[in-house]
Structure 1
Amino acid sequence: MNRYQGQTGNGYQRQRSNGSKQAAILEAEEIPADYVESAERVMRGLGTEGDNGTLRFKLTTSKIRNIFSMVTDIYNVESRRREPELKQESISALQKMRVRILYDAGREKDAVKSFVEAAHLLQYIKGIGTNREKFINFANYMEALVAYHRYLGGDD
C-alpha cells in the first residue's frame, strides 16, 4: 500500500516538472488495532544495540515526552466527555500539535523526524479528524510509544 502521494524511489518526494523536488502529501491513516505491538516495533526499529543489551536512541526522553505532553493536555479534556466529536478547542489544539511536531521534526531530522515518520504520527493525527474515539486511541498509542522508549533504554 502506498502511504504517500507521489512516492518515488527517492523517498517521500516527487519531481516537479521544472526539476525541483516537492514533498508528498501525507495521507490520513487509522491507528492500528494492535497499537501496542505497533509501538514496540517502531521503538525497536529506532534503537541501536547498547553495551548492556538495552537500546540507545537518538530521540531523547524529553523530546518524546514533549510531544506526549501536548497529547495529554487534549486527553485530559476529552477523556471526561462522551460526545462522539472533539470539542472545538481540542480540534484547534490538535492542529497546533501537528504544526509543532512538523517544526520539531524539521529542526532535528535524525532524532525527531525519524521518530515521527516511523511512528506515522502525522498520518494518524490527520486520521483523527474530529472523532473523539480516534483521538483517545491515538493518545493510547502515544502512551505505548513513550512506555516502550523508556522500557527499551531511552534516556536523556
Structure 2
Amino acid sequence: MLDINKAKDFVKNNNLTRAITTSKIRKFLSAVNKISNKIRYQNNSDILSEDIVAEIAYMRVQFAYIVGKDNKNEGLKKLHKELDDAIANINKNKNEFINFAKYVEAIVAYHKFYGGRD
C-alpha cells in the first residue's frame, strides 16, 4: 500500500522536479481524477465495476505511452515504475484506488512545491 507521507521523499530522492514537466505529471493526475469522480458516483460497493477496472487499465497504457515518448528520461521511468506497480496492485479494490489517487496527488503537490518545471 502506498503511503502519501512517502511521496515527498520519492519526489526529492528521484530528482523529479528536474526530470518531469508539470504538464506531464498533471496529465496523468487528470486521468486519475476522472476515474476518482466516477468511483464517487458508483454504488457503495468496495469492488470496482468492470467499466472502471477497464478505465484503470487504459490509464496504465496511456502512462506507458507518455514514458515511451520520452524514454531517455530516467525520472519519468522511476515514476512509471512506482505508479505502474501500484496500479497493478489495485485489482478491483475501491480503497486501493482511492489510496493510489491520493498518492498521485501528493506527488504532484510536492513536485510543484519543490519547483517542478513547467
Q: Which residue of 2 aligns with 1:42?
A: 10
Deviation at 1:46, TM superposition (A): 2.4
Cα deviation for residue 47 of structure 1 reads: 2.1
Residues 1:91 and 2:53 are matched in the alignment: yes
Aligned counterpart for 2:30 among listed residues 66, 69, 75:
69
Partner of 2:67: 105
Letter in 1 for 2:13: G
Q: Deviations over 1:119-143 (max 9, x none)?
A: x111100100011111011001111
Which TM-score applies when normalising by structure 2? 0.89
Give the root-mean-square deviation of aligned CA atoms.
1.5
Structure whose CA Rg is larger: 1
Q: 1:1-40, aligned counterparts within 5 Å?
A: 31-32=1-2, 35-40=3-8
CA distance in 1, matches of 2:14, 2:26: 16
Q: 2:89 aligns with which of 127, 139, 142?
A: 127
Q: Higher helix share goes to which structure?
A: 2
1:57, distance to aligned residue in structure 2 (A): 1.5
| Alignment: residue pair count | 115
Kindly, what percent of the aligned residue pairs are identical? 32
The superposition leaves residues 66-120 of structure 1 with CA deviations (integer Å, 9 ceiling, x where unpaired) of: 1101100000011243211112221111000111111111221214223212xx1
Moved over 2 A (4+): none
